[in-house]
A and B are shown apart, each in its own frame.
Chain A
Amino acid sequence: MVAAIDPSRLIACPMCDLLHSARSAQDGERIRCARCRTVLESSRPKAIDRTLASAATNVILIIGALFFPFIKLEGAGSRQNATLVDALSAFGGGLTAPLVLVVAAFIVIIPLMRAGALCYTLWPLRFGRRPYRHAARAFRFANSLKPWSMAEIFIIGVVVALVKVAGMAEVSLGPAFWMLVAMVAVLVLENHNFCRWTIWRILGQDSTV
């Protein structure tokens, strides 16, 4: 029986290992695992176009969020415009340095690397060309970075911090904050339009990947 199985015509559920015969999802359809109900494949028309568009948008938004004013602070007779770059480079000694490193990684470096890796993987596929060298590695890298990109959590953090300093100073949010909010919205859309199994199948058609 085992000898009769053709692996290329099967998929296994990543959550429970159950085998299913592989087929493409039709319009709007979601194929779920028969045992644990995990989504195995969903129909995502234009998955490549849309993922590429949101990744490129994210690169622009992150760079904008770095250099536009993030927060305006008025209080004690002084007035300040702070960008994220100011905030990240204003660290002193002691424990501030590791903290700033963690924050910079989670909200700037990792999202930027992820969006960059997605663009690199998907750009040639968009035009029906062969994937660039190491495209599989780049796409794997992008997927593994996903849980570590935390812009949405940072936004909640900003709001909590504003509540905490509400009495001490007049604080208003600048365009960079709203760029981060837009980035989170784009990420939600990207998640919705993204089916990594589909993209892997397209990447895998070229054996030189």
Chain B
Amino acid sequence: MNKEPLYQGEKIKDLIPQREPMMMIDSYYGGNGNEGVAGLTIKDNNIFCENGMLHEPGIVEHVAQTAAAFNGYNNRISAQNGGEPHIGYIGDVKNCIINRLPNVGETIITHITLITRVLNVGLMTAETKVNDEVIATCQIKLFEKTD
């Protein structure tokens, strides 16, 4: 993983199709080959925050958008379809264990690994951390709409 983000702020929109208030990553760090890493510093106006914590939908969406950014980044560097981010959908989520909900002000970093890809469906595993503490792990299947 790179120490400095390759994409952050407005530039994230080059990698993912989601827009406010549904943007759940604010930085993308790249990764090698089958891996991608993205981060989010949790703000109190996040639509999935309540009582000072980011709740399950925010965490799972953050994971899904890390996967989407991984696809978006790879599409950009291979410049398919002009490199614009494709719309994608979660196909399924499996074995998603949440050890704790992260707090406003904390930065979560998700590391995804592509296990297999069949046509436009990618199966990935994800680990989400605050510093060195693993707060969530899951497996996610992401459909990418390529037309």
Say whether A and B bind each other: no
Q: B: which residues have CB within 8 A of A?
A: none
